[in-house]
Structures are given as structure tokens and as C-alpha cells.
Chains A and B, each alone.
Chain A
Amino acid sequence: MKAQVKEDWFRQDRLPHIFCVGCGNGTVINCVVDAVYDLELDIDKTVFISGIGCSSRAPGYMATDSLHTTHGRALAFATGVKLGRPEFDVIVFTGDGDLAAIGGNHFIHACRRNIDLTVVCMNNQIYGMTGGQGSPCTPIGKLSTTTPYGANETPFDLCELAVAAGANYVARWTSYHAKELRNAVIKGIETPGLSFIEVACQCPTSFGNKNKLRQPIDHVNFFRKNAIFLQKAKKMEEERKEIPAEAVIVGEYARRSRPVIGGRI
């Protein structure tokens, strides 16, 4: 069944969703739905898969078939769906705690095998659902429930990890760059092989509350001011200029054609 209007992609009986006021996950859902609506995908032949966490509630609001799986194992389930039914478009919603902490091994091996999936990672830099514990993506010096004096571990750079592991399309955007994010999801679905799109999004309740970004607008303005394009960051590196510590480097990290598993026959 093809969608006539964009609202057909949502389960009307489940909305409004339970995300907090100003949560970035809603923006990401909007962008992904806009992308799949623009591509005119079949509602019956699209599958949304997620693990555990705030971000992973997203498939519950979709009208398509969806799987809400165990913590960190969304990519393992998605691999099974894609290899079982290669004609389906499989989109995985995960968070940073789900993908980088517990499902880290599944992530690098899904990238290595280059399975034809689209992975959208909503990186809110914290474990939002369980009360704001520090995650592997919490930046240095930021406060959370488990790092009350500021995190002192170096955070993961998920995009560089995906590039090194061999994903075919890798991009990072923030929840402020909604149009670019939508275009990145369109490119990701069109590219055969694993396409990984990381979205830095705001969490006003758990992250912003402790880090002087209390209002959703403050955090989105933070992304707007601190986002640096990848090309500019590379140029700054060449000129030996220092990139600010809290900068979010956005852009398209990789687009290539390595051999693919589970592509359309």
C-alpha cells in the first residue's frame, strides 16, 4: 500500500507520543518519515526495527511492521529480517547507549558485513530513559547522574568508527539540520549496503537540565552555533588551527561501494 499523505505513516491511535517536551527524537522521526514518504516506499514492504531506549520507542508510532527487540540487538534482528526478505526496506532506529555501549559489537560487524540496512542513531549523549546515566558518547566535562564531577572519559566518535569498520554511507547531522538530515536519510536508503546516519539530538530532561541547556531552544541553538562542516574541519586541521572541544562536526563522512550482503536481487 502506498501512502497518500504523510500522516498515513503514523499510527493515529498512538499519537501524541510520550517523548518529553522538545525531545529531539520527534524531529528525527519526522525527518525519516518525510524521507520515506518522498521516496514513495511501500508501507507493507518497509520494516522499522529498534532496541531499547527512548529512541527505540519510535517504531511503535509507525503504521508499518516493526520489531521492538532486546537491548543492543536491533542490528542482529535487522540482519535476520533483511536476509530473510531481501525485497524489504529495513530501517533501524537506535540510540547511543543501545548502539555504541551494549550493541557495539553487533554494530561493527554489521558495518563489516555491509548488510543493506539504514541505521539512524539518535545520539542524545546520555542514557535518557533510565535517568540520565553517562553513556559512551557523553562529552568530556559534561555532567550526568553517574558523572557528577564531569565525565573524564573520551567519548566515542561513531561516524569514524563506522567509516573504519566499512559502512557504505556515513553521515552526521544534528536535530537543527532537519532538511540535511532528511536528504541524508534519502541518500542512505538509496545507497546499497549499510548506511549509518548519526543525529546529535537534544535531551532537555536528562542532559540539558544538568548542563545549563534547560530549554529545548537553548540546546538546539547550541547545535546551530557549534556545528562545523566536515570540509571546514579538515581545512582547519591542515592549517593547524584548533577545533573547539565542544564542536559537532557535521557532514557526509563516506559514500562508497564496497561489496554488499542482502541487497535486492
Chain B
Amino acid sequence: MMKQLTINETRCKGCNLCTMVCPYKIYQIGTTPNRRGIYVPVLHESGRCTNCRLQELYGRELCGGCALICPDQAISWIPVPQYKKSNIIIEY
């Protein structure tokens, strides 16, 4: 199973600590308020996350700095089905 990075919008309070700590700058400061008036950070190309890419290969949790520093326990990884090779189209 692949893992995908998610932000729980009901828990996030918009402190933007994750934007500071991520080495790949995946988290970008949000620009539009959500239903509760909170500027939740936006994920920019979340596939670059070390934990998403290499967790399966190493068999343990890697990096995880954002999930540890998030004061609101909002960041987690959810399992997503592995994409099939037949679905990837390579353009020449």
C-alpha cells in the first residue's frame, strides 16, 4: 500500500509550523480561508514527501518531522491503493 500525505482540516489551526520544518517545502502558506476561517496550508506536489516515496522500501516510518511538530495532530499519512503500471502513460 502506498501512503499519501493529508492535513485534517477539522484539526488544523493554521499556525504554519509545517511550512517551516519541511525540507522539501511541500507545505505552502494557504491563501483562501476554509469554512472555519482558517488558512490551512496547501500541499504542493505531495508526492515528493520522503515518507510517501520510501516507506514501503525501508519498511519503517521516515522523516515525519511535520507530523511530530504539528501542535494539532492534523498531519497524517493515509494508505492509498498502488497505482497500476497500465495507468501510467509515457509520452515520447
Spell out A's residues near B (CB within 8 Å): 7, 10, 15-17, 19, 21-27, 29-31, 34, 175-176, 178-179, 182, 215-217, 220-221
- Interchain CB contact under 8 A, B17 and A16: no
B20 beta carbon closer than 8 Å to chain A:
yes
User: Chain B contacts of A215 at CB under 8 A?
Assistant: 16
* Cβ contacts A to B, 25 pairs, < 8 Å: A10-B73, A15-B11, A16-B11, A16-B72, A17-B72, A21-B14, A22-B16, A25-B71, A27-B70, A29-B73, A30-B67, A30-B68, A30-B69, A30-B70, A30-B73, A176-B69, A179-B65, A179-B68, A182-B68, A215-B16, A216-B16, A216-B17, A217-B16, A220-B17, A220-B69
Residue in B17, B65, B70, B74 whose CB lies within 8 Å of A217 = B17
Known: A21-B14, A178-B65. 14 other contacts (CB 8 A): A15-B73, A16-B10, A16-B11, A22-B71, A24-B71, A27-B70, A27-B71, A30-B68, A30-B70, A30-B73, A34-B68, A175-B69, A176-B69, A179-B68
B22 beta carbon closer than 8 Å to chain A:
no
Q: Across the interface, name the chain A residue whose C-beta is closest to B14.
A: A21
Q: Across the interface, name the chain B residue whose C-beta is closest to A31.
A: B68
Distance between A84 CB and nearest chain B CB, rounded to angstroms: 31
- Interchain CB contact under 8 A, B68 and A21: no
The distance in angstroms between the C-alpha atoms of A234 and B26, with both chains bound, is: 38
Known: A16-B13, A21-B14, A179-B65. A26 touches B71 (CB 8 A): yes
Q: Across the interface, name the chain B residue whose C-beta is closest to A38.
A: B61
User: Chain B contacts of A221 at CB under 8 A?
Assistant: 20
Chain B: residues with Cβ within 8 Å of the partner, total of 19
User: Chain B contacts of A27 at CB under 8 A?
Assistant: 17, 68-71
Spell out B's residues near A (CB within 8 Å): 10-11, 13-17, 19-20, 65, 67-74, 76
User: Chain A contacts of B67 at CB under 8 A?
Assistant: 30
- Interchain CB contact under 8 A, B73 and A22: no
- Interchain CB contact under 8 A, B20 and A30: no
User: Chain A contacts of B70 at CB under 8 A?
Assistant: 26-27, 30
